[in-house]
Amino acid sequence: MEHDLFIEIPWALERDTKPLDNEVKYPEALVRHFLKKYTKKGDKIFDPFAGLGTTLFTSEEMGRIPYGLEANRERFEWVAGQLEHWNNLKHGDSAKLLDFSFPKMDFCITGPPYMPRHHKWNPLYSGDPKKAGYDVYLKRMAYIFSNLKKLMKRNALVIVQADNLTHGKIYTPLLHDLLACVSKNFQPCGETMVRWKNAKPDYPSTTCMIFKNT
């Protein structure tokens, strides 16, 4: 299947996330685009970093079956409390996703937690000082995707949404580094540049990397 090089999608969040925060990396319209293009009703859709549930809610709305993991207890409870398939969302570490007896998945779309390379606080270890550092973050991310490979059906697609990070003069090539992590287990097969309509001034676009489980 041919992959889009460029798409334009409205930036409009459809769920009120203010009870928690507004750290939503992509709106429901982005998930709809990829689900419509690559999946069908009844497919099992997985998000190993469920966050505020954008992937799960949109999958359910479109007749797909959502599954996911979320490490943060407050976010997990907030999403599970509104999801019809609430028992398909598990509270736990994505590095241990094989411990949850999930079925084989047809498709995955996720926006993993970001970490600038100059930070010590590692979001994949909830800031554990013994697990500080960007290199530790990337090693853990590669391990998570090695386990994800075992969960995905053969030829299933995995979409990873990410952005490079700039803080003053410090630049984090997160796209490049995540590409290297995921490519250890999945075949890269394209990138889709997404430009937001009605974008926030500090967030005009994003990138979705497309991988295949060969």
Q: How far apart are CA 188 and CA 185, in angstroms?
A: 10
pLDDT value at 23 more than 80: no
Q: What are phi and psi of 3, to 5 degrees?
A: -100, 145
pLDDT value at 12 more than 80: yes
Q: How far apart are CA 92 and CA 123, in angstroms?
A: 13
Q: How far apart are CA 91 and CA 50, in angstroms?
A: 10
The reported pLDDT for the residue numbered 20 is 63
The type of residue at 101 is: S
Tokens found for residue 161:
């949404």
Query: How buried is 17 (Cβ within 10 angstroms: 0-12 exposed, 13-18 middle, 19+ buried)?
Result: middle
Q: What does the pLDDT look like over 115-139, one tens digit per residue?
A: 999 999 999 999 999 999 999 999 9
Task: Please give the model's pTM, rounded to 2 decimal places.
Answer: 0.95
- CATH number assigned to the domain covering 6-212: 3.40.50.150
The type of residue at 160 is: V
Which residue carries 């497919």 as its tokens? 43
Tokens found for residue 119:
């930070």
- Cite the DSSP H helix spans in 62-133: 73-80
Q: What does the pLDDT look like over 37-56, one tens digit per residue?
A: 999 999 999 999 999 999 99
